[in-house]
Structure 1
């Protein structure tokens, strides 16, 4: 299945490029060329429309750094999810397939591509620069405002690639437009070397047909306090407990040098430099000693340029 070429009202991204470096965010970033769409997205998802100057987004003029890590969307059937595998070089695409057959170049189209059948083996080949990485494109409308048009989310996430057949099967069972949640799911775990790692992976959850699912995510209900006795109320009036305002939860992003991804995956015991190492490095760069270690690793790895080039030229559009 090839990628969709549908005209886009806008794009959803998990991160952005800042000074040439990828930054992974903890809430969706949206880009669009339409100022009215930007204002409407901001009203629904939080944030403020801003000029999109040098932050990635395919040249789209406006960006919104939203406050939502999950968005309810409408997906128009399995054809709205497109996936293929791509290997990039400095000269462009050198391998494009669907996991079993070549999609390009034309003279190889339809021939066996030679990719391993198991996902873990494909990940290892990609990490070593020998195999392609996923390119998955999801076309959808926002369930709360479908009239805005179609948005896209494009990613090279191995997790989304692993989800692909389950998602398309669920969409086929609904046999029509389906309401889904598009979520940046928080994952926390400890690597084999004992490092605590947190990162966000994109997840598509098929919920049901539009007539059976609410068009927007439900708000968390605040608990209703139990009625207080007269003695309790009297005590509260006489000696109110001082309260301290809770500190706002910090919003953070992770800045990563892409040339370190492959070596960092080996050191940290992670298997997917596209998803996991972005967040893992957020732990590593916390102190001067670790920063020095990263610099040392960078000097030691002579063949990392090809891996970094593949990762960046692969254009994981969740970042750009």
Structure 2
């Protein structure tokens, strides 16, 4: 015997779940490697290991799925025509951050800026300098950890496509991270838990002239338009 409740209310019958919906199906990038050096982009770049996902990305954000030379599984890339992507987070835990120093064989140092967060020394003082400028200078020299901010989210334009990961070591975003985390936490608290968070991942154009007259121009990642909703991808009731 099986339930027949959907016969009397077919409009309420749950839709079949996508084969991708709970998987990480791709990555979002603000740059790419050329033959000689990294290249910052003004529109988002997506990579995936599935051609169908790449084609859907192109439909949503422009661009063309194409194979690129890589030894990683995500060998399909889409150079989109969009600098703004709406995302949906399952909760505050979808945004994670730490300070990391990588070596040839893996992570040498991982901390939150005050205490180690991995390995045998977890919970012990990490010994990083207190001053922000000193931290940044050491990271640029390769002698100290740099930010690693990770966001796991669905695309607001097609939530059932699956999860995408965005990772950045942006020091500019790090300066705003506490405000972003607070906004996400406050939105979740206002919705009394169990909510999803909507936000926009953007590449913002920055342009200014230094005191010496040098013109500086670049694109920086930003997380904006943070709001919460209580409805789930599949309603439980």
TM-score of the two chains, using structure 1 as the length reference: 0.59
Match of 1:11 among 27, 32, 47: 27
Match of 1:138 among 151, 154, 169: 151
Paired residues of 1:178 and 1:206 also in contact (CA < 8 A): no
- Tell me by how many angstroms 1:18 deviates: 1.8
Match of 2:90 among 76, 86, 102: 76
Where relative contact order (Cα < 8 A, 6+ residues apart) is larger, the structure is: 1
CA 1:36/1:94 → structure 2, altered by over 3 Å: closer, same or farther? same
> 2-side partners of 1:157 and 1:35: how far apart?
29
> 2-side partners of 1:200 and 1:207: how far apart?
20
Q: Which residue of 2 aligns with 1:165?
A: 178
- Tell me by how many angstroms 1:125 deviates: 2.6
Query: Residue deviations 1:12-41, cap 9 Å, x none?
Result: 001111225211111100011122211111
- Tell me by how many angstroms 1:205 deviates: 1.0
- Tell me by how many angstroms 1:209 deviates: 2.4
Q: Which residue of 1 aligns with 2:112?
A: 98
> 1-side partners of 2:106 and 2:200: how far apart?
34
Paired residues of 1:30 and 1:64 also in contact (CA < 8 A): yes
Paired residues of 1:99 and 1:115 also in contact (CA < 8 A): yes
- Tell me by how many angstroms 1:118 deviates: 4.1
Match of 2:214 among 172, 187, 195: 195
CA 1:24/1:74 → structure 2, altered by over 3 Å: closer, same or farther? same
> 2-side partners of 1:121 and 1:64: how far apart?
37
Greater share of residues in helix: 1
Match of 1:42 among 58, 74, 89: 58
Query: Residue deviations 1:84-107, cap 9 Å, x none?
Result: 111133444221111111123x23
> 1-side partners of 2:120 and 2:219: how far apart?
39
- What secondary structure is seen at the aligned counterpart in 1 of 2:144? coil
> 2-side partners of 1:127 and 1:159: how far apart?
14
Q: Which residue of 2 aligns with 1:60?
A: 74
- Tell me by how many angstroms 1:77 deviates: 1.9
> 1-side partners of 2:201 and 2:152: how far apart?
11
Structure 1 residue runs without a partner (length 5+): 1-5, 213-320
TM-score of the two chains, using structure 2 as the length reference: 0.79
> 2-side partners of 1:76 and 1:204: how far apart?
16
Paired residues of 2:184 and 2:226 also in contact (CA < 8 A): no
The number of residue pairs the alignment matches comes to: 204
After TM superposition, the runs of 4+ consecutive aligned structure 1 residues lying more than 6 A away are: none
Task: Please list, as runs of the form range in 1=range in 2, the aligned pairs for 1:241-256 lying within 5 A after superposition.
Answer: none
Greater share of residues in strand: 2
Structure of greater Rg: 1
Q: CA RMSD in A?
A: 2.1
State yes or no: 1:126 paired with 2:142. Answer: no
